[in-house]
Amino acid sequence: MTNTFGGKPHVLILGGGSVGLTTASELRKTLGAEVAITVVDPRPYMTYAPFLPEVGAGSIDPRNVLAPLRKVLPGAKVVTGSVSAIRSAENTVVVDLEEDEQLEIAYDYLVVGLGAVPRLLPIPGLAENAIGFKQVEEATAVRDRVLANLAEAATTKDPAVRKRLLTFTFIGGGFAGGEAVAEAEDMVRDALRYYPDLHASDIRFVLVDGAPFIFPELTEDQRAYVLNQLRERGIEVKLETFLNSAENGVIKTSDGDEFETDLLVWNAGVKPAPVLSDSEISDLPVVTERGPLMGKLEALADLRVNGADGPLDNVFAAGDCAAVPDLASGEGKFCPPNAQHAVRQAKRLADNIARSVQGRPLVDYYHRNLGVMATLGMYKGVCRLQLGEKEVDVRGLPAWAMARSYHVYAMPTIGRKASVIAGWATNLISRRDIIGIPEAETPRAAFEYAASTGKKK
């Protein structure tokens, strides 16, 4: 089955994240109805990932960090499915739909914004027991598990069970892992006021990272500040330490520590979407040398994919799955995989496709990093701002306010911005919710129980 779009140039966008949504939106603004746009993604929504730590801490309702593609991109065709083949030589992509159906889509221009997935290591028990933190479902599950464990631990009489229930382990001390553990600890500290049978000393948060420091994007002074903040709050930060095993919920680390945990969150790195590295699925060229760029599409500064014989004039890539030269940082450097670059690359990419359609020269992507920021719980944060050639460090309440303000600004749609702000305002009045709903993962359990008890024996 092949889709055709008459005489209009057809832009096929793989991935509905920051790159896909922004590219489609900007193309519609620039070219209007002159171009046909199709967006392919397994999920019918874009997730604003920087807000996931606050979702995991109960500060933001999960739906408020999602932008529904069909609503945000009127006039674009949204295909909910997974890419199973990329044939750039034939200008076609094959998409797997539900119930074993496939859709073959022809294109004039291809945009690859498939993002990244967790980079798992061959650690015993990791795949069976850990949960990631890249999707809203995962952040919600972490929140529900932590809150449900508090309720269960408050009623159990078994000290070993209580200790396991109240031990939460996070692997990876980058921004994603560091923010996740800091926000979760802050949520637990806030919830303990409702549990007189529990004490802060009963709670154990462990953050494990193989590097000698956490939050690598920060300056040395800022990293030391964050490390002290976490440790003062009782979070065990194990640096230059590796996870050796996680079988049966028992954590074994390279420093000789061994303990039981009821929650293991994996944030130790990502890799480009695996579909790109499989030569049987995709004929697009990827970086094969080992290193942080391995598996990424090699992009030119104008965001066209660079093939063995030169640029592919109708194939563009951006975001976490693309190695994009960072012209602002100097020769030989590449843009870091963050939302700041992904959104801006997508805007340049959309403009370059419009230029190609109109026969105008393409423009290179250039963006000077604005800095980085993170929230570490309510009223706690850290920022490194790049103001021209000067770096400015901000900490505490001002950094927290700046981070929240920036992310509300960057969150797609006015409705979602308003919902996030309204949720924050509600939390100030009534405090965060302390209800965990782990049963949401098995919604038929109560019905099945009722059905089983009605059977005759």
What would the mean pLDDT of 212-241 be, rounded to a whole number?
94
- CATH no. for residue 27? 3.50.50.60
Same domain, 153 and 236: yes
| pLDDT at residue 39, as a whole number | 97
Q: Among residues of the chain, what percentage have pLDDT more than 70?
A: 98
Q: Considering 358, 393, 423, which residue would you say is the last residue of a domain?
A: 358
- Domain membership of residue 126 (yes or no) is no
In a domain, 1, yes or no: no
* Residue with the larger pLDDT of the pair 153 and 449: 153
Does residue 76 form part of some domain? no
Mark which of 300, 328, 358 sits at the end of a domain. 358
pTM metric for this prediction: 0.91
The answer to whether residues 329 and 208 belong to one domain is no
Q: How confident is the model at residue 436 (pLDDT cuts 50, 70, 90)?
A: confident
Rounded to 5°, the CA angle 331-267-339 comes to 45
Q: Is residue 161 part of a domain?
A: yes
pLDDT tens-digit series, residues 199-221: 999 999 999 999 999 999 898 99
How many structural domains comprise the chain? 2
Higher pLDDT, 445 or 235: 235
The more confident residue out of 107 and 453 is: 107
Domain that holds residue 299: 10-42+81-118+271-358
Using 50, 70 and 90 to split pLDDT, how confident is the model at 6? low
pLDDT of res. 195: 95
Please check whether residue 323 lies inside any domain of the structure: yes
Indicate whether 457 belongs to any domain: no
Are 29 and 112 in the same domain?
Answer: yes
Would the pLDDT of 1 be above 50?
Answer: no
Residues 169 and 260 in one domain: yes
5 band by pLDDT with thresholds 50, 70 and 90: low
User: Do 377 and 423 have their domain in common?
Assistant: yes
When pLDDT is cut at 50, 70 and 90, the band that residue 457 belongs to is very low
Mean of pLDDT over the chain: 92
Q: What is the model's pLDDT at position 3?
A: 46
Mean pLDDT of 124-136: 95
pLDDT tens per residue, range 23-69: 999 999 999 999 999 999 999 999 999 999 999 999 999 999 999 99
For residues 325 and 197, state if they share a domain. no
pLDDT score for 100: 84
Instruction: Give the domain-ending residue among 358, 386, 410.
Output: 358
Q: What is the pLDDT of residue 355?
A: 96
Please indicate, yes or no, whether residues 20 and 160 belong to a single structural domain of this protein: no
Q: Note the pLDDT tens digit of each residue in 274-300.
A: 999 998 999 999 998 888 889 999 999
Does 140 lie in the same domain as 31? Answer: no
Bridge partner list, 67:
46
Average pLDDT over residues 315-323: 95
Residue 448 lies in a domain: no
Q: What is the CATH number of the domain that holds 219?
A: 3.50.50.100
Same domain? For 241 and 203 the reply is: yes
Distance separating alpha carbons of residues 186 and 57, to the nearest angstrom: 7
Is the confidence at residue 454, as pLDDT, over 70?
Answer: no
Check whether 182 has a pLDDT greater than 60: yes
Better pLDDT: 450 or 121: 121
**379 in the same domain as 251:** yes
298 and 250 in one domain?
no
Q: What pLDDT was estimated at residue 359?
A: 94
Query: In this model, does residue 125 exceed pLDDT 60?
Result: yes
388 and 262 inside one domain: yes
Q: Examine residue 3 and state whether it is found in any structural domain, yes or no.
A: no
